[in-house]
Chains A and B, each alone.
Chain A
Amino acid sequence: MGGFGEILITLGVLGLLFVVWELWWTGIEAESDRQESLEEFYSSAPELPVTEQSTEGGTEDGPNPQDFEVCYTLPDGTEIGCAEHMRAATGPEDIMGITYAPRLGESWAAPIRHGVAAEQIDRGGVGHYTATQWPDEPGNFALAGHRNTNASMLGNQDALQIGDPIYVVSNDGMYVYQVRERHVVLPHQTEVLNPVPSQSGVEPEVGVLTFTTCHPMYSNRERLIHHAEIVDFIPLGGEAPADLAHHDRIADMFWVPEEEA
Chain B
Amino acid sequence: MYAWFFNRVLPGPLWLRIILSLILLAAVVYGLMEFVFPWLSEHSPLGDVTIEDG
**A146-199 with Cβ < 8 A to chain B:** 146-147, 149-150, 154, 185, 187-190, 192-193
A213 with B51: CB separation less than 8 A: no
State the Cβ distance, A127 to closest chain B Cβ, in Å.
8
B33 contacts which chain A residues (CB < 8 A)? 17, 21, 25
In the complex, A158 Cα to B27 Cα: how many Å?
39
Residue on A nearest B29 in the bound complex, by CB: A17
B50 with A116: CB separation less than 8 A: yes
Residue on A nearest B45 in the bound complex, by CB: A220
B52 with A187: CB separation less than 8 A: yes
B32 with A14: CB separation less than 8 A: yes
Chain B interface main SS type: loop
Answer yes or no: A91 CB below 8 A from chain B CBs: no
B41 with A22: CB separation less than 8 A: yes
Total number of B residues with any Cβ neighbor in A under 8 Å: 19
Do A188 and B52 form a contact, CB below 8 Å, given A14-B32, A18-B37, A21-B32? yes
Q: Quick one: which of A21, A142, A147, A193 has the most chain B CB within 10 A?
A: A21
B49 contacts which chain A residues (CB < 8 A)? 116, 121, 144-147, 154, 212-214, 220, 223
Do A190 and B46 form a contact, CB below 8 Å, given A14-B32, A21-B37? no
B41 with A190: CB separation less than 8 A: no
Residue on A nearest B2 in the bound complex, by CB: A6
How many chain A residues sit at the interface, stated as a range, is 35 or more
In the complex, A40 Cα to B29 Cα: how many Å?
32
**B10-47 with Cβ < 8 A to chain A:** 29, 32-33, 37, 40-42, 45-47
Answer yes or no: B9 CB below 8 A from chain A CBs: no
In the complex, A222 Cα to B46 Cα: how many Å?
12
State the Cβ distance, B20 to closest chain A Cβ, in Å.
18
A18 contacts which chain B residues (CB < 8 A)? 32, 37, 40
A188 with B54: CB separation less than 8 A: yes
A144 with B50: CB separation less than 8 A: yes
Residue on B nearest A213 in the bound complex, by CB: B49
State the Cβ distance, B15 to closest chain A Cβ, in Å.
24
Answer yes or no: A137 CB below 8 A from chain B CBs: no
**A106-165 with Cβ < 8 A to chain B:** 116, 118, 121-122, 127, 129, 142, 144-147, 149-150, 154
In the complex, A144 Cα to B49 Cα: how many Å?
7
A17-B29, A21-B33, A150-B47 known; 5 new pairs, CB 8 Å cut-off, are A22-B41, A149-B46, A187-B51, A192-B51, A193-B51
**A positions within 8 Å CB-CB of B:** 3, 6-7, 14, 17-18, 21-22, 25, 116, 118, 121-122, 127, 129, 142, 144-147, 149-150, 154, 185, 187-190, 192-193, 212-214, 220, 223
